[in-house]
Structures are given as structure tokens and as C-alpha cells.
Amino acid sequence: MWKFSVRRTLIMIPQLIVLSILIFVLAQLMPGDALSGQVGPDVDPKRLDEIREQMGWNDPWYEQYASWMGGVLQGDLGQSFRFKIPVTELIGQRIYNSFWLSVATLILTYLIAIPLGITSGRFNDTWRDQLITGYTYVGFATPLFIFALVMLWIFGFALGWFPTSGSVSPGLVPGTFEYFMSKLYHLLLPAISMALITTYSTIQYLRNEIVDTKQKDFILTARAKGASETRVYNRHILRNSLLPIAAFFGFEITGLIGGSIFIENIFGYPGMGQLLVESITLRDYTTLIATTLIFGVASILGALLSDITLSIVDPRIRIK
């Protein structure tokens, strides 16, 4: 396993270099820059040219890339033009929000998916199964952004149970218990909204696996040996059926960092997804490149993690 992990990690290095060049060049190719359309009666266009020169935006892309890469290797992702602070600091503020939102979503997703998936698989083709499958189809068909708006309207505004925007109530001191509770309170509704919709795939996977495993010979053997139905399900079927979910877990990690563009925008929740969209529309290059790069690194790491977990859970899988 160590050999496998090291090899996978080594492959990542050229992947990352290509990724960074690609992102950098594509960002440069976008029309306009952070100062486009800023010309106005209060702003001197000569000043804008001066800033462009000062920021080095007029240099050829490979020179800009070299100086940027030099910074990245020292852990400096550059300065955000719009926010006027180092990008690392900016991302630090946002990734924290996205991370906790995603952790909450993930926990809720599994809390919903595992019992429902087991019920659905164990009692397949009964009314219970049909109800659950019906729910997954509805979840599959409902666009997240519409569902989130409806949830926001019902629970945020009509009933007033949850706050409707932001990640924390204004005026609390970080580190206090109240601050923590307020954070939790703010991310609950977006997390529930997202979990209710995105859980369908996990339920479906689990159900199919269980239905599949149920008919395998070793289950028959277990039953023939006189194992109780609960034992058959918990010990034999469930363990084997969790495989695909374990494999999926690595990719969920990517989501942890990437956040959700829809959810964050609808709930006015300042996370990475929102930051990415803002940096694209405002051509905040350094932020844009840094966020896309982090997403890229996260996906690569996620895939790695998936492979490794899979090889731990399933001893049959060993890459030579």
C-alpha cells in the first residue's frame, strides 16, 4: 500500500504543474481585467494604465507565471486586487466556512442515506422501498437552487426558524460558545437543504448494493448456517455494501473544500464557491487562480484518498 501511495503521489507533481499552467493561461486569456469598466468621471484612465503597469499585468504571461510560481513555492499565493489582502488570508477566511458547511452536509447526508438505503435494500419492492425510491427520484429531479430557495422561504422567512443570510450573527466575539452556536445555527439550514437533495445517489448506491449482495452465495451460506436475519444484514450484507460509499468518500472531500456555488449564493454564505464566482466576474486574477488551483489539488487529493481507502476496505484491491 505504501508503494502504491507513493507512486500515486509522485504522479501528482506533473499533474499539478500542468494544471497550474493551464489555469494561469486560461485566466490570462479572459477578456478584460480587474479594472475593466472602472473608467468614470471620478477615475482617471491614465491612473488605470499606471496601475496595470505597476501590477505587472502588461508583462508576457510566462514572466507573470514565473514570478507567481516563485511566490507559490514560498507559500505566497499573491495579493487579491479586489480585497487588497493576501490571497492566503482571504482563502483562510472562506475555506473555514465552506469546510464546516460541507462537514455538516456530509454528516446529514449519511444520516439520511444509510438508514434509508438499508431499509430500501432490505425490504425491496415493498411500499417502504417504493416510498424511498420515490423520494430519491424527486431529489434527483429537483434543481438544488430552486429547492434551496423554497427551503429558505419556508424555514427562513415564513416560519422564521433559521437565519436567512451570513455565516454568523454580527457582533459576536470569535472563540466564545455563543459564536460557535451562531455559526452552527447559520449553517444548519443550508446544510439540510443540500443534504436532502444530494443524498439520493448514496441511497441508490446502497440500495442496489444490498439488493445485489442479498442474492450472493455467501449470504445463502450464512443463512444456512442459521445466522439470524439481523446478523446477516449487519455483519455480512452491510459491510460488503458499504464499499462504493467508501470509494465515494474521497470525492466528497473535494466538495468539502469546493463548497457549493448555488447554496452559498442563495444563503449569502461567504465560502469558497461564492469567492470563485466573484473572482471570475471581477477578474481578480490572483484569487481566481488560487481558488481554482486549490480545487484542482483537492480533486487530485480526493481521488488519491479514494483509492487508498478502497484498498484498505477491500483487501481484494491491491495495485501492483
Partner 1 sequence: MKKTSKWLLALMLVLLLALAACGGDSDSDSSDKGTEDKKSEKTAEGNKDGIFSIEDFSMTKTNEGEAIEGGELTYGVVASSAFAGTLNYNFYSDAYDYEFIAWFDEPLFDSDINYTYTNDGAAEYEVSEDGLTFTLTIKDGVNWHDGEPVTAEDWAFAYEVIGHPDYVGIRYGSDFENVVGMAEYHAGEADTISGIEIVDEKTLKITHKTTGPSMLAGGIWPYALPKHLLGETPVAEMPESKWVRETPIGMGPYKVESIVPGESVTYVKNEDYWRGEPQLDKVTAKIISPSTVINALETGEVDMVDSFPTDQFVDAADMSNVEWLGMIDNAYTYIGFKLGKWDADKGENVLDPDAKMADVNLRKAMWHAVDNDAIGERFYNGFRWSGTTLIIPFFSEFHDSSIETPTYDPEEAKRILDEAGYEDKDGDGFRETPEGEELVINFASMEGGDTAEPLANYYIQAWGDVGLKVELVDGRLLEFNSFYDRLEADDSAFDIYQGAWGTGTDVNPEGIHGLNSFANYTRYTNEELDQLHLDGNSNEAFDLDYRKQVYSDWQQHMADNIPLFPTLYRSVLVGVNNRVINYSMDPASDLRRYDIGVTQEAPVVAE
Binding positions for partner 1, rule: CB under 8 A? 30-33, 35-48, 50-51, 54-55, 82-86, 89, 93-94, 125, 130, 133-134, 137-138, 141-142, 149, 152-153, 156-157, 160, 164-168, 170-173, 265-266, 268, 270, 274-275, 277-278, 281, 283
Least distance between partner 1 and beta carbon 299 (Å)? 25
Least distance between partner 1 and beta carbon 83 (Å)? 5
Would you say 194 or 304 has its CB closer to partner 1? 194
Record the cell numbers describing residue 86, joined without a space.
493576501
Would you say 51 or 72 has its CB closer to partner 1? 51
Residues 8, 10: Cα–Cα separation, whole Å: 5
Least distance between partner 1 and beta carbon 141 (Å)? 6
Of 195, 176, 167, 171, residue with least CA distance to 268: 167
Q: Residue 130: left if φ>0, alpha if ψ -120 to 50, beta else—which one?
A: alpha
**Are the C-beta atoms of residues 213 and 237 closer than 8 Å to each other?**
yes
Least distance between partner 1 and beta carbon 277 (Å)? 8
Least distance between partner 1 and beta carbon 269 (Å)? 9
Residues 245, 201: Cα–Cα separation, whole Å: 10
Least distance between partner 1 and beta carbon 39 (Å)? 5
**Are the C-beta atoms of residues 151 and 192 closer than 8 Å to each other?**
yes
Least distance between partner 1 and beta carbon 270 (Å)? 4
Least distance between partner 1 and beta carbon 107 (Å)? 24
Would you say 23 or 305 has its CB closer to partner 1? 23
Would you say 128 or 223 has its CB closer to partner 1? 128
Would you say 179 or 248 has its CB closer to partner 1? 179
Would you say 47 or 216 has its CB closer to partner 1? 47
The three state secondary structure string of 117-156 is HHHHHHCCCCHHHHHHHHHHHHHHHCCHHHHHHHHHHHHH
Would you say 129 or 252 has its CB closer to partner 1? 129
**Number of Cβ within a 10 Å radius of residue 2:** 6
Would you say 160 or 226 has its CB closer to partner 1? 160
